[in-house]
Structure 1
Amino acid sequence: MPIDRISYWNLPMVVRNKIEDTTGTVTSAPSVGEGLNSSVAALLRTSKGRFFVKALPADHRWVWTQAREAEIAPYVSAVAPALCTRVVDLGWDVLIFEALDGHQADYAPGSRDLGHVADLLTRIGELPCPPVTLRRAEQRLQAYAEPTYLRHFAGDALLHTDLNHANVIIGDDQARIVDWGWATRGAAWLDAGYWVIWLIASGHDPSSAERWAAKVPAWRSAPAHGVTAFAKANVRVWVEIGGGEPDDWTRRLINASDLWHEYRTVFSRY
């Protein structure tokens, strides 16, 4: 579920002063995004330029994603913004990134952004998996998929795994991706699979979504039974995320994963 969002100005002054040691004096700090993974997510305009700041309380159950993102940042600079510094103080864990110019990706059918996103996933697939301890895809999905199929999710590719359109920024005819806190090691085709769910949630039918996924080279070697098992696992993932009363945002993803699984179930009969 989304994390409660607070303003940048609600951070302790000592923490803000340490941030400004890197960014220069902050003149404005509008919050951005929907508040899914950070308590603070703000675009800073400062005496030195523009920066993006994300922060979590140091005792939050997801604070490990801050450390993961800081670790992996040097290895994904070809597809992601540069990390300027990390600040951990007074109960807060803060990451300061360069700000990207551009707009959040539009995944709707017919969008000019779709080709850029396919190219981005291709470029991610070309990155070597860094020497960082990452969760493995088969471990992340073991509670949601039958054991027989977990082997299809295993591999040594670097995966982002959160293809929310808000994480993909289009600028200068190129897509870049933010929020690497859920980076994972696994089968190379999985990121395209995660994208399929977001494409369906954005208005594509499953066939169209898979055609876009097929523009990513790794997807073309995905095992059919593995894809079907992945679709089924994600139904369970999103139902769990939604809980008893999913919000509208999560309901979209539950419905999209359901629709994809139904399509894959029919597809696998032939």
Structure 2
Amino acid sequence: MSHPPAAGTRVPWHKVHPAVRAAVEEFLGGRVAEAITQPGGFSPAAAVRLRTDEGRRAFVKAVGPEPNPDTVLLYRSELKIAAALPESVPAPRLLTGFELEGWVVLVFEDVEAGHPELPWRRDELDRVLHAIDRMSAALTPAPIDAPPISDVFGPAFKGWRKLLKEDTDGLDPWALRHLGELAELESGWAEAAAGDSLVHADLRADNILLTDDRVYVVDWPWACVGAPWFDRMGMLPSVGMQGGPPPHELLTDPDPAVTSVVAALAGYFVRQSRQPDPPGLPTVREFQRAQGVVALDWVRRRTGWS
């Protein structure tokens, strides 16, 4: 595998708080006879396909306050969003969710599906991109209450502006040469990304499931209201670094608004990849670094700066 995996440290079912496991079994109406951990994703949490002794199935996500309390906040946000998503959204149905003993728990229908094959196959990529475009159209205007994109990513999309005041040793020479211009371009991202669509805002292969005839989009904690093209744009750096076509071949809109947001996304990946590993997420920085390489090349192409 030539690209870093989208995988972190999962919590096995038997290490989930006993009260949480008991509550899930009570909801499912039977003892858990099989628990299969799903490896994709970065969160230091449980992500488990369960089967009870009576044959009922569910997919359960559960996270406690250790080792990363920020993940609890994300799961709390996902619980709120998942409970509100209309049936028209191509996402597995939330069966129940609750908080108990400091843990946040989401119980979804279990979908017999798999992630896209990596490196990306063009037929699967085309299916996914078409599904994302259809989803964006169906979610315009946003059918539920969600925060504006500027609130969700405002603190994060300041990468180039922060690097103006930080040690830039080892920074890409082109980025270093244009750091001031990148910071200025990035500063307009919030206005550029504004819109009335509900966007997932964190699309990657590990957040997509495929059946023979359906595309499911999972993991919605970052959902917000923004431009309808944001999901396609935000996904493309990961597609490029996971063996798919480069972003400039998959999004050709020359709109300067798109360029501004691409610059902000690149600045986020580049700066984040230079930070220490967050607690319980030992692989995320390398994944961000690889996306940053692709996103920075995309900015270079879109700006035409030498």
Task: Please indicate the TM-score interval, normalised by the length of the shorter structure.
Answer: 0.7 to 0.9
Separation in 2, partners of 1:236, 1:263: 12
Separation in 2, partners of 1:88, 1:115: 38
Q: Secondary structure at the match of 2:198?
A: strand
Aligned residues: 261
- TM-score (norm: length of structure 2): 0.75
Moved more, 131-140 or 182-191: 131-140
Partner residue in 2 for 1:226 = 257
1:28 matched to 2:34? The reply is yes
Separation in 1, partners of 2:118, 2:251: 12
Q: Deviations over 1:14-40 (max 9, x none)?
A: 211110122232111121124512511
Q: Tell me, which stretches of 5 or more residues in structure 2 are unaligned?
A: 1-5, 160-182
The within-5 A match list for 1:61-80 is: 61-73=70-82, 74-78=84-88, 79-80=90-91
1:269 matched to 2:298? The reply is no
Separation in 1, partners of 2:275, 2:76: 31
Q: Specify which of 76, 90, 94 is matched with residue 83 of structure 1.
A: 94
Contact 1:32 1:41 in 2 (8 A): yes
Separation in 2, partners of 1:88, 1:136: 26
Partner residue in 1 for 2:158 = 143
1:241 matched to 2:272? The reply is yes
Contact 1:159 1:191 in 2 (8 A): yes
The amino acid across from 1:199 in the alignment is V
Q: Specify which of 4, 9, 16 is matched with residue 11 of structure 1.
A: 16
Check 1:35–1:131 CA distance in 2 against 1; reply closer, same or farther (3 A cut). Answer: closer
The within-5 A match list for 1:1-270 is: 4-23=9-28, 24-46=30-52, 47-58=54-65, 60-73=69-82, 74-78=84-88, 79-106=90-117, 108-125=119-136, 126-127=138-139, 128-137=141-150, 140-141=153-154, 142-144=157-159, 146-206=186-246, 209-213=247-251, 220=253, 224-244=255-275, 250-269=285-304
Q: Secondary structure at the match of 1:259?
A: helix
The amino acid across from 1:269 in the alignment is G
Partner residue in 2 for 1:217 = none
Q: Tell me, which stretches of 5 or more residues in structure 1 are unaligned?
A: 215-219
Q: Deviations over 1:10-63 (max 9, x none)?
A: 122221111012223211112112451251111111224221111121572232
Q: Secondary structure at the match of 1:42?
A: strand
Larger-gyration structure (1/2): 2
Moved more, 8-17 or 188-197: 8-17
TM-fit CA distance, 1:138? 6.5
Contact 1:137 1:187 in 2 (8 A): no
Check 1:235–1:147 CA distance in 2 against 1; reply closer, same or farther (3 A cut). Answer: closer
Identify which of structures 1 and 2 has the higher relative contact order when contacts are C-alpha pairs closer than 8 Å and 6+ apart.
Answer: 2
Separation in 1, partners of 2:202, 2:298: 22
Separation in 2, partners of 1:10, 1:228: 45
The amino acid across from 2:210 in the alignment is I
TM-fit CA distance, 1:256? 3.4
